[in-house]
Amino acid sequence: MLKINDVVVHYGVIEAIKGVSFEVNKGEVVSLIGANGAGKTTILNTISGLIQPTSGEILYKDQPITKASTRDIVASGISQVPEGRRVFSGMTVKENLDMGAFLRKDRSKVQKDLKRVYESFPILKERLGQDAATLSGGEQQMLAMGRALLSDPELLLLDEPSMGLAPLFIREIFNIIEEISERGTTILVVEQNANIALEISDRGYVIETGKIVASGSAQELLDSDEVQKAYLGG
């Protein structure tokens, strides 16, 4: 579904991404793990069109999207839950959710998808009229995920979904990510918490200073001594 071919990204003279290649197949959950500053968020933002690569190619369902606008990328079926959640403060929970469906014309299906979001995140239904900024960190993460799902994505990009959350919320969020996957959404998750990300993934890639340094099935990475020492506290 998604192919990243030899992508290079610069911030000024600094080469942040150094010829990265990987792929995500339809129906998979794939983790991109690595330390803070390794380039994980830069890769997601490049896929979403927020950053233009210096060179390389990004293919989505065999079509190049390297030069596409973010709006067109969302319309094509890719949605991103950004690092730090980025809910719209001064807007209610319901208004935030409505923004997720902004580009959609299929209003009857939007209502069905909204009902499904409420089933996945019942706390949101209880807080529809509340300012999104007053939610807890975990609730804001749920709102950001619900908002992304309302764009009806085929491919969901999740940037550090566990960041700043209490352990109980982290487990709940990752259980919901598994549910979303089981419904047929393909997921690419970027995460510092490598253990929990690999637990729900089919495959994974390890990135260090802008380069992919290891890849394999989730179990292979969990069993790897090098990955254990570097990322899993082994």
Residue 233 has pLDDT above 70, yes or no: no
The CATH-assigned architecture of domain 2-231 is 3-Layer(aba) Sandwich (3.40)
What is the per-residue pLDDT across 173-214, written as a single tens digit (0 to 9) for each? 898 899 889 989 999 999 888 889 999 999 999 999 999 999
This prediction has a pTM of: 0.88
What pLDDT does 84 receive? 66
Q: List pLDDT tens digits, range 218-229.
A: 999 999 888 877
pLDDT surpassing 70 at residue 37: yes
Please answer whether residues 144 and 164 qualify as being in contact, where contact means their C-beta atoms are separated by less than 8 angstroms.
no
First to last CA, the chain: 33
Residue 16: its H or E element: strand 14-24
Report CA-CA distances (Å) from 168 to 21, 119, 143, 165.
34, 19, 17, 8
Q: In a 3-state reduction of DSSP, which class is residue 227?
A: helix
Determine what percent of the chain is predicted with pLDDT higher than 70: 97
Decide: 9 and 16 in contact? Cβ < 8 Å: yes
Q: What is the mean pLDDT of residues 47-51?
A: 96
pLDDT of residue 234: 52
C-alpha dist (Å) from residue 42 to 37, 48, 101, 165, 171: 9, 10, 25, 22, 25
Position 105 confidence tier, pLDDT thresholds 50, 70, 90: confident
The overall average pLDDT reported for the chain is 90
